[in-house]
Structure 1
């Protein structure tokens, strides 16, 4: 009746008629959707609501930054590039890491396109691929420059997210963009590691709201349910202010209700800082709700790797990806 969803599945399930149109249910029950932090839509209708969100801030190793002469976590792209180079040149650690495994291509979403969203940019126009716009082009060029400067940890093309986290935890990487879900694991694995959390660096001069990459536990309703009234009551309860705050507290995640405040933000300084970042920006992940989302990441990843290797230009990479993506829409 009520189903747990990942954003990458939503388009396929909606097109199959497997999950119900939540917009219609909200209208039917006179539900105020302004209380929801985000919604995942297909063809203009909501099919999934993120109940709790795991955001992806920037993690920075305090000691490595200090040894490299960097006073504070970077807040824009120039500061990040300068810090990555300084860390790489100062010792044995890499400035940053980029998990680009084709087996799990979510690095394209979490560690690459997230920088576009952090500056208010978009890879879509009217719900269709728009990969050759200036924002996307500049983001890809930025990472190409960083890669050519040698600031990434070795093995980027086969690295998975958990490999990146291990490198950071063991002090071999100075900065990474990663899920807040790994915070407890990092602390337990290396209690002596001193690190900070901050918002993703934005384009130099950008002063708007920053998109915050996130993964979520999503809620939907089965289209075949014989109990939609009861399903709606559970949905409404889970997304209510108090229940959603409790759910977020149990998950060590951030709530899907904009008025909810999880209890751990009062007891944990880093989580409190992360919650401030979350409230100051907006959840951003344009892959949620797209058709064959994981395959779209893999298609871009293949072209991205070829571009980093110098086999194709940035423009070629984006034009080829635009063409392959458009065939899926």
Structure 2
């Protein structure tokens, strides 16, 4: 009888444990083998600290992530937690939980930097629809050996020098000046060049009209078209995404790469530190440059079956120790105060980004991700039309007008809703 009762008791315990077991679905969208590995390690630690909880990681390839994720949500296959790029936040903001109260009650909430809090609330300026996990700031990598071989005495400080140096390097056999990102995720480059040649990174004028088709902005768009059509970038770079441009740099195919700190990981693994360096983006005619600053973060959908547990996962991934580990291995600027004192970030390798942050002539540009359809604009409209421009199918003025018309309409719609 005791054995029977013991067996019944054991089954009851198992049944209770099974009933209490929770499964969270987490979607990552800026996917790479290293990122997935780091995320899995942090999820494993979360599961170990929360027995009975399982986290299913769904990894979407970045090139198709926008469409695949939209299809998931539209079909009701909605995750509990998602890696949310800044430019998608406007699309999903009404479906995301406001984390303000949870952050206020969180033991690590007070050490989040103000920029982290501000960016997490950028959809309406008030509601924290995500906790950013770090920031991407654009700077210029350059290959010292290729510059020397081409007779370029110093890395470019201006846009004119950038074009001249790219021309000289492209005269070398099988080499090119610039790793152009013509494929997915390439909008940042177009926006930077437009703003830098225009001398202003304001997206809309006082009348709410987009500035992207102002003469200076068109000149910046033409700059990239010329770079490609003159042969200063590889022909297949019209479709290059992140992995291709980074590989183009560390393989020695092209001498210049404008990228965020995440590119430093792959480059450092494959190039000697003495062979490359990172400098701020070249300045335009106004003497200023406007490097883009972006971010992604952890957000929670309001359809989650367990809001407390989903928040617990976000808090775990966003804690100072976890975020520092993530920032070092993924390549972002951390989100907690004091992180810049970490020896990992106080090296010459990060000089280009810190010089950018500290230089008055470098003005970081925040994309208008508060616009509801900005994600669609960036990943669909801008991608298709910029490729058409590179291939000579439409002019710089035509692509600028198309972008300006779309953004002006979106801004008007956003303004009316405020």
TM-score range, shorter chain: 0.7 to 0.9
1:146 is displaced (CA, Å) by: 2.3
Listed one character per residue, the Cα deviations across residues 248-292 of structure 1 (whole Å, up to 9, x for unaligned) are 4465421234653133023x3212443343444565341533324
2:224 is the alignment partner of 1:146:
no
Match of 1:265 in 2: 345
Question: Hey, what's the Cα distance between the residues in 2 that align with 1:113 and 1:284?
Answer: 9
Listed one character per residue, the Cα deviations across residues 92-131 of structure 1 (whole Å, up to 9, x for unaligned) are 2011121222xx2x1122x221334565413345777442
Question: Hey, what's the Cα distance between the residues in 2 that align with 1:21 and 1:52?
Answer: 17
1:316 is displaced (CA, Å) by: 2.0
1:2 is displaced (CA, Å) by: 7.7
Within a 5 Å distance, the mapping from 1:95-106 to structure 2 comes to: 95-101=177-183, 104=184, 106=185
Question: Hey, what's the Cα distance between the residues in 2 that align with 1:222 and 1:144?
Answer: 40
1:147 is displaced (CA, Å) by: 2.8
Distance change (3 Å), C-alpha of 1:68 and 1:45? same
Higher relative contact order (CA 8 A, sep 6+): 1
2:189 is the alignment partner of 1:123:
no
Contact preservation (8 Å) 1:198, 1:274: yes
Match of 2:35 in 1: none
- 1:79 is aligned, of 131, 137, 161, to 161
Match of 1:12 in 2: 91
- 2:138 is aligned, of 44, 52, 56, to 56
TM-score normalized with structure 1 length: 0.78
Distance change (3 Å), C-alpha of 1:164 and 1:32? closer
Contact preservation (8 Å) 2:159, 2:284: yes
Within a 5 Å distance, the mapping from 1:118-197 to structure 2 comes to: 120-125=200-205, 129-191=210-272, 194-197=275-278
Contact preservation (8 Å) 1:87, 1:174: yes
- 1:67 is aligned, of 149, 154, 165, to 149
More helix by share: 2
Match of 2:398 in 1: 316
Question: Hey, what's the Cα distance between the residues in 1 that align with 2:148 and 2:239?
Answer: 30
Distance change (3 Å), C-alpha of 1:190 and 1:283? same
Contact preservation (8 Å) 2:228, 2:234: no
Distance change (3 Å), C-alpha of 1:197 and 1:32? closer
Question: Hey, what's the Cα distance between the residues in 1 that align with 2:111 and 2:210?
Answer: 31
- 1:39 is aligned, of 115, 119, 126, to 119
Question: Hey, what's the Cα distance between the residues in 2 that align with 1:318 and 1:107?
Answer: 15
Structure 2, unaligned runs of 5 or more? 1-79, 414-418
SS at match of 1:36: helix
Contact preservation (8 Å) 1:123, 1:136: no
Contact preservation (8 Å) 1:52, 1:248: yes
Match of 1:253 in 2: 332
TM-score normalized with structure 2 length: 0.63
Q: Report which of the two structures shows the higher radius of gyration computed on alpha carbons.
A: 2
Listed one character per residue, the Cα deviations across residues 169-213 of structure 1 (whole Å, up to 9, x for unaligned) are 111111111232122222323448711101111213424xx5433
What's the C-alpha RMSD, in Å, of the aligned pairs?
3.8
Distance change (3 Å), C-alpha of 1:137 and 1:31? farther
Question: Hey, what's the Cα distance between the residues in 1 that align with 2:167 and 2:239?
Answer: 22
